């Protein structure tokens, strides 16, 4: 385990994952660990077509991002940050794949708004987030409060499951093995560009 992965294991709540389940709060998620192999998630592309995540990961080492949705200002900032890193990560041999609970039509809006060059995929059913141990279920009160703030999670995903992913960053090799992981229940705090680049260089 490299020193960056070790650091994150120490500061994040990384316990063995209960894949397939949704936590009741962000603090109670059980994300997949460094050294584990990600499941072969079935996601959707911008056209709504089914995509196997491992088919994409097997082509190039991958920086996999899970974010809440384009409606989240912290996620929008992260998407822009990643675009600024895209060319550097590409030169290091990595592709970026960003996955959210947004349905494909909403992904297209994010892609155009931020002029992104990397891959966006939809996990609107949140089955992938549950398998990765990132999913948690919002209370009815939280859903109503978000709507008052013009953040409609039902409209964004097209579903009423009220599930969201805790934002996460995973660096994967071509076999889908997690080489680095950052997951923080506080959705306002995201991995810095400097740390992500340092981790990518270390993994490479």
Domains of the chain plus CATH, in order, are: 41-203 (3.40.30.10)
pLDDT reported for residue 14: 35
pLDDT reported for residue 16: 38
pLDDT reported for residue 204: 86
In the predicted model, residues of the chain with pLDDT beneath 50 are: 1, 3-18
Helix axes 73-91, 193-203, angle to 10 degrees: 40
CA distances from 123 to 61, 85, 89 (A): 21, 23, 24
For residue 136, what is the enclosing H or E element?
A: strand 135-137
The predicted-structure confidence for 41-51, as pLDDT tens digits, reads as follows: 999 999 999 99
How many CA within 13 A on the CB side of residue 59? 8
Nearest Cα neighbor of 81 from 197, 172, 203 is 197
pLDDT reported for residue 9: 39
Radius of gyration of the chain (CA): 16
pLDDT reported for residue 20: 67
pLDDT reported for residue 21: 81
pLDDT reported for residue 5: 43
Q: How many residues does the chain have?
A: 204
**Edge-first strand listing for the sheet containing 62-67:** 50-52, 42-44, 119-122, 95-100, 62-67, 168-172, 178-183
pLDDT reported for residue 19: 56
Beta strand 95-100 pairing with 62-67: parallel
pLDDT reported for residue 104: 96
The predicted-structure confidence for 61-99, as pLDDT tens digits, reads as follows: 999 999 999 999 999 999 999 999 999 999 999 999 999
User: Are 94 and 62 contacting, i.e. CB atoms less than 8 angstroms apart?
Assistant: yes
């Amino acid at each position: 385990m490299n020193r960056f992965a070790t650091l994150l294991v120490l500061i994040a709540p990384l316990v063995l994952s209960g894949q397939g389940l949704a936590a009741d709060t962000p603090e109670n998620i059980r994300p997949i660990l460094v050294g584990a192999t990600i499941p072969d998630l079935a996601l959707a592309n911008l056209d709504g077509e089914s995509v196997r995540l491992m088919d994409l990961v097997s082509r190039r080492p991958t920086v996999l991002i899970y974010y809440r949705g384009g409606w989240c200002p912290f996620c929008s900032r992260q998407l822009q940050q990643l675009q600024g890193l895209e060319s550097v990560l590409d030169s290091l041999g990595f592709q970026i794949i960003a996955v959210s609970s947004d349905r494909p039509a909403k992904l297209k809006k994010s892609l155009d708004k931020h002029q992104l060059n990397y891959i966006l995929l939809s996990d609107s059913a949140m089955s992938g987030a549950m398998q990765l141990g990132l999913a948690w279920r919002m209370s009815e009160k939280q859903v109503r409060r978000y709507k008052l703030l013009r953040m409609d999670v039902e409209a964004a995903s097209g579903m009423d499951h009220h599930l969201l992913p805790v934002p996460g960053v995973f660096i994967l090799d071509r076999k889908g093995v997690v080489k680095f992981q950052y997951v923080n229940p506080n959705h306002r705090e995201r991995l810095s560009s400097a740390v992500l680049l340092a981790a990518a260089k270390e993994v490479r």
